[in-house]
Amino acid sequence: MYEGVIGSLIERLGKLPGIGPKSAQRIAFWILEAEKQDIDDLANSIVEAKQKIRFCNVCFNVSEEDLCRICRDPRRDLKIICAVEESKDVIAIERTREFKGRYHVLGGAISPIDGVGPDDLRIKELLKRLADGVVVEVIVATDPNLEGEATATYLTRLLLPMGVSVSRLASGLPVGGDLEYADEVTLGRAFEGRRRIQ
């Protein structure tokens, strides 16, 4: 029903992930009514991000330079690498301030259904980083779902023979959650991984 400029705006907004036709329409009309400066800034940000953002040469995290902020930081421990699926996961882990090593962004997880095999991930690049023997531990922090577990298992098999210690993030009850709402698998894992208090 929408034609011309507004029609193509709605159509293009509708291609964004998680934006259906109604949301696209809502955003389009919001754009028409917003301050011109805000809209120009938004459009510039979109183009600029596309132009300037690339991937770190070492860890493949998003970066505006050859090396990302974390790989450039001399205070980060070179002996530990945390392998994650996406750059988003790097941010999530950084927020905890628990991890002082460096990262390796795999670019996804093994998923035969989606046609993603080990060769589609940056696994070779990870192995290369281990070649000089500096790294002593790899934490495999892929998602705790089917694809993430499969990727972790695959990686573990490759990494153990190289003499590095391999670990996986603990599964268990989310802090602040209710025990009664935990699913069976999570609760089972929480039992398995229980820590003795004394």
- Residue 114: DSSP 8-state: G
d(CA 154, CA 86): 17
d(CA 76, CA 101): 5
Of 60, 70, 87, 147, which lies in the binding site for its own copies, with binding defined by CB under 8 A? 87
d(CA 47, CA 100): 33
Q: Work out how close the CB of 151 gets to its own copies at its nearest, in angstroms, rounded to a whole number.
A: 19
Question: By CB under 8 A, is residue 17 in contact with its own copies?
Answer: yes
Q: Which stretch binds its own copies (CB under 8 A): 33-41, 74-82, 119-127, 149-157?
A: 33-41
Of 50, 75, 195, 196, which lies in the binding site for its own copies, with binding defined by CB under 8 A? 50
Per-residue buried b or exposed e for 45-64, using 16+ beta carbons within 10 Å of the residue's own CB: eeeeeeeeeebbebbbbbbe
Neighbours of 97 (CB within 10 A): 7
Look up residue 65 and give its amino acid: E
Question: By CB under 8 A, is residue 185 in contact with its own copies?
Answer: no
Select 135 or 142, whichever has its Cβ closest to its own copies. 142
- Residue 112: DSSP 8-state: G
Of 181, 188, 192, 193, which lies in the binding site for its own copies, with binding defined by CB under 8 A? 181
The binding site for its own copies (CB under 8 A) comprises: 1-6, 8-9, 12-13, 15-19, 22-23, 25-32, 34, 36, 38-50, 52-53, 62, 64, 69, 86-88, 91, 94-95, 180-181
